[in-house]
Amino acid sequence: MTPSSLPVIRLKPKANAAAIRHGAPWVYDNELVTDRRTKAIAPGSVAILEDAARLPLALVAVNTSSRIMARVLSRDVSTQINKAWLKAKLDRALALRSRLFDAPYYRLVHAEADGLPGVIIDRFGDTAVVQPNAAWAEVLLPELMEALVDVTGVSCVLKNASGRARGLEGLDDMSTTLVGVAPTGPIPVPMNEATYMADLIGGQKTGLFFDQRPNHAFAARLAKHARVLDVFSHVGGFALATLKAGGASALAVDGSAPALELAVKGAEASGVADRFETRQGDAFDVLTKLNEEGAQFDLVICDPPAFAPNRKALEAGLRAYERIARLASPLVSEGGSLVLCSCSHAASLDKFRASSVRGIGRAGREATLIHTGFAGPDHPLHPSLAESGYLKALFFRL
């Protein structure tokens, strides 16, 4: 479509047009004039966003079913949103990852920060897993897939439609194979000298969490000859990285039996199975039981799911983070390390740190904060979108 044929949406007079001009990527429904014509725009359509004075601000993707009604695609309203535009975005994303990583195992596209709002693409060698979490990406999915294959040369592309984000956009939850043939089993993924087994079909999210890679590496530096406890371990998380670095032993705890089975396979592939154990169960229950047993570890890591996925859940989430810290702290031997993580974008670093320190104090322990970690560089931050800086990892010495 040419710019002259695109629909137009307009900010309300009190909306912050300057924020859009300065880089803000989202426009909420309460910031827009939602007349009959605007409401009739089909979800996923491209439109021109104007300020209250009818001056063009940006080219946006519109979804009147979403709280985020407009997502900025380009500040040049003459831009053609097509396969060539998608290829340019993917080329730019790939150029960064190719500089950062020796092997093609990484997050290739991190949504707004890579200029593709709501789109997540994780790469596992010749296979890519796409989460099109915005309506515009669902509409342009065929063009996106063609561009992805052209740019990366992957032979298989899977669509993962799970997760809360697609529901908020009014999208379905039907995962499928888009290109090629889906893998019949878990894929081995080399990372931090260990081998992880990723289930791209039935696993959580895209099958593996690449975001913790630098935090795994830092924990490994603390793990030589250490007894390690990895809680909310998923497919081996911190445990496998620490064992490869010379950890004496590791116990992985998770509520998912399939995830722990993959963790065991990863330990076998990494050559550390003889020093690796698992325990399935609710993390809070297992931590309580370990305390009753008088267990002690040199390094304890807790990497839970998002306890505060939104602002409504913030207070309850902060209490949960405090409880985790309180239960985990007594398990750390004198002079040992405690790693507490949060992937809740609603919980700021300051609030998460305060809850963690409060929990450590209530356990009767004293701590120094030796390192604060974040997601790796394949998960870049959009400087005008706080939500893109969701991951925090606090490394304490007790």
Reduced 3-state DSSP string for 332-354: EEEEEEEEEEECCCCCCHHHHHH
The string of pLDDT tens digits covering residues 284-307 is 999 999 999 999 999 999 999 999
* Range(s) within the chain of domains with CATH label 3.30.750.80: 83-179
* Range(s) within the chain of domains with CATH label 3.40.50.150: 187-397
Q: Is the pLDDT reported for residue 111 higher than 70? A: yes
* Class of CATH domain 3-74: mainly beta
Pairing of strands 68-74, 26-28: antiparallel
Burial of residue 162 (number of CB atoms within 10 Å: 0-12, 13-18, 19+): middle
The pLDDT of residue 203 is 80
pTM for this predicted structure? 0.95
Task: Kindly state the average pLDDT of the residues 77-95.
Answer: 97
Quick one: 83-179 is in which CATH superfamily? RNA methyltransferase domain (HRMD) like (3.30.750.80)
The two counts, helices (H) then strands (E), for the chain are 12, 19
Burial of residue 275 (number of CB atoms within 10 Å: 0-12, 13-18, 19+): middle
* Range(s) within the chain of domains with CATH label 2.30.130.10: 3-74
Contact 206, 160 (CB under 8 A): yes
Contact 122, 129 (CB under 8 A): yes
Q: Is the pLDDT reported for residue 329 higher than 60? A: yes
Q: Is the pLDDT reported for residue 256 higher than 80? A: yes
DSSP state of 42: P
Q: Which residues are catalytic?
A: 343
Residue (of 244, 163, 261) closest to 204 by Cα position: 163
DSSP per position, 230-290? EES-TTTHHHHHHHHTT-SEEEEEES-HHHHHHHHHHHHHHT-GGGEEEEES-HHHHHHHH
- The owner of tokens 């790469």 is 123
Collapsed DSSP state (helix, strand, coil) of residue 84: helix
Q: Is the pLDDT reported for residue 1 higher than 60? A: no
- To the nearest whole number, what is the mean pLDDT of the chain? 95
Give the angle subtended at the CA of 60 by the CAs of 377 and 35, to the nearest 5°: 140
- The owner of tokens 């913790």 is 212
Where does the pLDDT of residue 67 fall: very low under 50, low under 70, confident under 90, or very high at 90 and above? very high
Contact 139, 160 (CB under 8 A): no
State what percent of residues in the chain have pLDDT above 90. 93
The pLDDT of residue 395 is 98
Residue (of 230, 314, 303) closest to 272 by Cα position: 230
The pLDDT of residue 253 is 98
Separation between Cα atoms, residue 176 and residue 342, nearest integer Å: 30
The pLDDT of residue 207 is 84
Q: Is the pLDDT reported for residue 5 higher than 90? A: no
The string of pLDDT tens digits covering residues 123-175 is 999 999 999 999 999 999 999 999 999 999 999 999 999 888 899 899 999 99
* Class of CATH domain 187-397: alpha beta
The one-letter amino acid at 182 = A
Separation between Cα atoms, residue 319 and residue 282, nearest integer Å: 17
In sequence order, the 6+-apart residues with CB closer than 8 A to the CB of 187 are: 124, 125, 127, 197, 198, 200, 207
The pLDDT of residue 388 is 78
Strand boundaries in the chain, DSSP class E? 8-10, 26-28, 45-50, 56-62, 68-74, 105-110, 119-124, 127-132, 156-159, 176-179, 187-191, 194-198, 227-231, 249-254, 276-280, 297-302, 332-342, 368-373, 392-397
Region of residue 108 (phi > 0: left; psi between -120 and 50: alpha; otherwise: beta): alpha
Where does the pLDDT of residue 204 fall: very low under 50, low under 70, confident under 90, or very high at 90 and above? confident
Q: How far is CA 231 from CA 254, 303, 331, in A?
A: 6, 6, 12
Q: At what angle do helices 349-362 and 314-328 cross, to 10 degrees?
A: 40
